[in-house]
Chains A and B, each alone.
Chain A
């Protein structure tokens, strides 16, 4: 079942003029003017050409000179915190933060309070998002009731109601037999199963990477094997069940190796990586600053570099922010007591451009694939992830060379970012959802 933001309100035409269109789905990296009508991409025109068949000039023109024009970014890992965590974020504010970062579609995780584990709550949240959110908000539903890892949730009914993925994100489905059943039902319903790979036993006692930095600071630690052991188990279950498996926030180089092995076996397994894991490592954590406390944790340099290489060569498929807003008060509780997680929607594109693309570690093509085309394909969004004529006019216009410094204030309701004060190169100028401009600088 498809669900998408209705672009009905926006029927006027619009031309994004003078930009470099990067659209891997049509193998395009060239200067084109993008003509939008009725919320859809109407045509890609060589620069200066009059729109063919257009009876009159476009009602509105966006100047994209010197900019990249890319399919709207899709973040398949967002904690929108509604319901239950509205002090930190809401569907509306998460959507605004997304728009500011060039994201036109986000997948909200089900670890809310209560958990999104039933079709009634899903329908309510979808209606709310439809009304309040300026970008497309899709929902992943919990694999087990209350994310308690005991009883399967009603996956068939959740799928029929519009859920786009099944996951207990925030924790793994610990019981392997239950994980098997969840994957089987997800597969039967045509949904991807997303796993937060973490062995709760191995990670008990601390959320700093088990490496020299945390050892020196005397922090409680979690080893890479807490992640990789579940990655390996789930790869086996994916083969057993035939389920499409997606690994959330891969952080360890050993997990990357496991993923490469699964792909070599021809299994339907993919992986995402968060911008903070690509840009930072254990050495970058200042003291016990809780804005750097993340699950999974910032790991070693070797892991960071292996993740970047895997993203470029395609072993890792997607960049997803794991946007995890927390109120100042919660993060002020100190390293041990603070909840893990960082926000990322507003900085993701700029961080990837600055740390990877501009340093020659990631191609423009892979940038767009990992942030748009792949997530669209994985979530079954047929009219998104590319700028082909007839598809939804979801787009981001990015000034790749614009410098900015990440301020202490955010569009998001929270500001727990490890990038505050960072000087970044590349910034989102415009974000369009269904042809409507939802962000402009």
Chain B
């Protein structure tokens, strides 16, 4: 498999990725799911650079790297140098000097990685930057949805909840549109501003109406601290208007239920839809490993073509 159409050192976001590029990742991930990979990253070092907590994403990245034979540095850069005021770029360059080829980074600041990536030979994989992008999450979402529905073209995907503060929503909007799906953002004006219409999402305020004919329902995690700023009044009020309940799910019998986790059960999603036959929430977690293996693998090919260790 010559994936020469992948011509990137980093994976910073889905914005700007072409449909063939996205398909290359999804197809390779599917191949990895069928048969175990070669230890392609043997001898390569990977470091995490997380300024925000993470369980799922970090574990999935680490599992993917280990399966490909990479060595993972057992420290988190957050706790060490970044906390002492070193700039992100300095930290990245120090890791590079130590021989690290892959840096998986999560940063609170939107777009923080874009400035750094061109200035290092290490490959940067964005594991979430502020509100902007979370490309591997969106890729595993696309992978899972394609697996369930055999296609992405023409699907109606309803993304429910706090799109304003969500990098998952932004990355999915890019990825789904690139793949030809129709994206509906549903939520209150405070969390789903009209401006998203200009970015290609159809806006719908009434969840019941939005769910008609949906092929997928993507529940965004409600960050509970948003209540303090009155983005919503109470968990009960939010659930009444935008919670995915069994009654609402019945309006979309063909829909795949998705959630990037962690779940606020009884808020954005009830137990029945989260754990029921339409749910893809656990398969998403598993698929997250294959998608990240695919990303590492394509980037490793690029690095070899460019004679980078």
- Which chain B residues border A187 with CB–CB below 8 Å? 189
Q: Enumerate B70-122 residues with CB–CB distance to A below 8 Å.
A: none
Q: Is B7 engaged at the interface, CB distance under 8 Å to the other chain?
A: no
Question: Which residue of the partner chain, among B188, B234, B238, contacts A184 with CB atoms under 8 Å?
Answer: B188
Interface size class of A (residues with CB under 8 A): 10 to 19
A356 to chain B, nearest CB (A): 39
A183 and chain B: residue at smallest CB distance: B189
Report whether A157 and B236 are in contact in the complex, using a CB–CB cutoff of 8 Å: yes
Contact flags A287-329 to B (C-beta < 8 A → 1, else 0): 0000000000000000000000000000000000000000000
Tell me the dominant secondary structure on chain B's binding face: loop
Report whether B188 and A152 are in contact in the complex, using a CB–CB cutoff of 8 Å: no
Report whether B205 and A160 are in contact in the complex, using a CB–CB cutoff of 8 Å: no
Question: Which residue of the partner chain, among A152, A153, A178, A242, contacts B189 with CB atoms under 8 Å?
Answer: A242
- Which chain A residues border B188 with CB–CB below 8 Å? 184-185, 188
- Which chain B residues border A184 with CB–CB below 8 Å? 188-190
User: Provided the pairs A184-B190, A185-B190 are in contact, do residues A152 and B240 lie with their beta carbons within 8 angstroms?
Assistant: no
User: Provided the pairs A188-B189, A242-B194 are in contact, do residues A154 and B205 lie with their beta carbons within 8 angstroms?
Assistant: no
Report whether A185 and B233 are in contact in the complex, using a CB–CB cutoff of 8 Å: yes
Q: Is B237 engaged at the interface, CB distance under 8 Å to the other chain?
A: yes
Q: Is B196 engaged at the interface, CB distance under 8 Å to the other chain?
A: no
A110 to chain B, nearest CB (A): 15
Q: Is B32 engaged at the interface, CB distance under 8 Å to the other chain?
A: no
Q: Is B231 engaged at the interface, CB distance under 8 Å to the other chain?
A: yes
A152 and chain B: residue at smallest CB distance: B233
- Which chain A residues border B205 with CB–CB below 8 Å? 188
Q: Is B22 engaged at the interface, CB distance under 8 Å to the other chain?
A: no
B227 to chain A, nearest CB (A): 8
Contact flags B227-246 to A (C-beta < 8 A → 1, else 0): 00111111011101100000
Docked CA distance A174–B188 (Å): 22
- Which chain A residues border B236 with CB–CB below 8 Å? 154, 157
Q: Enumerate A125-173 residues with CB–CB distance to B below 8 Å.
A: 151-157, 160
B190 and chain A: residue at smallest CB distance: A184
Docked CA distance A138–B258 (Å): 40
Report whether B241 and A152 are in contact in the complex, using a CB–CB cutoff of 8 Å: no
- Which chain A residues border B241 with CB–CB below 8 Å? 156, 188-189
Q: How many residues from B make CB contacts under 8 Å with A?
A: 16
B208 to chain A, nearest CB (A): 12
Q: Enumerate A200-253 residues with CB–CB distance to B below 8 Å.
A: 241-242
Question: Which residue of the partner chain, among A151, A156, A242, contacts B230 with CB atoms under 8 Å?
Answer: A151
Docked CA distance A154–B231 (Å): 11
A186 to chain B, nearest CB (A): 10
Q: Is A5 engaged at the interface, CB distance under 8 Å to the other chain?
A: no
- Which chain A residues border B189 with CB–CB below 8 Å? 184-185, 187-188, 241-242
- Which chain B residues border A157 with CB–CB below 8 Å? 236-237, 240
Report whether A154 and B190 are in contact in the complex, using a CB–CB cutoff of 8 Å: no
Docked CA distance A155–B232 (Å): 9
Docked CA distance A168–B229 (Å): 18
Docked CA distance A242–B205 (Å): 13
B187 and chain A: residue at smallest CB distance: A188
Question: Which residue of the partner chain, among A155, A177, A178, contacts B237 with CB atoms under 8 Å?
Answer: A155
Docked CA distance A173–B240 (Å): 24
- Which chain B residues border A365 with CB–CB below 8 Å? none
B189 and chain A: residue at smallest CB distance: A184
Interface CB pairs A-B, < 8 A, 19: A151-B230, A152-B232, A153-B233, A154-B234, A155-B237, A156-B233, A156-B238, A157-B236, A157-B237, A157-B240, A177-B229, A184-B188, A184-B189, A185-B188, A185-B189, A185-B232, A188-B189, A188-B241, A189-B241
Apart from A151-B233, A154-B233, A156-B233, what 17 extra A-B contacts exist at CB < 8 Å? Answer: A152-B230, A155-B233, A156-B238, A156-B240, A157-B240, A181-B190, A181-B230, A181-B231, A184-B189, A185-B188, A185-B189, A185-B232, A188-B189, A188-B241, A189-B241, A241-B189, A242-B189
- Residues on A lying within 8 angstroms of B by beta carbon are 151-157, 160, 177-178, 181, 184-185, 187-189, 241-242
Please list the 6 inter-chain residue pairs (A to B) with the smallest Cβ-Cβ separation, ordered nearest first: A154-B237, A184-B189, A156-B241, A152-B233, A181-B230, A152-B230
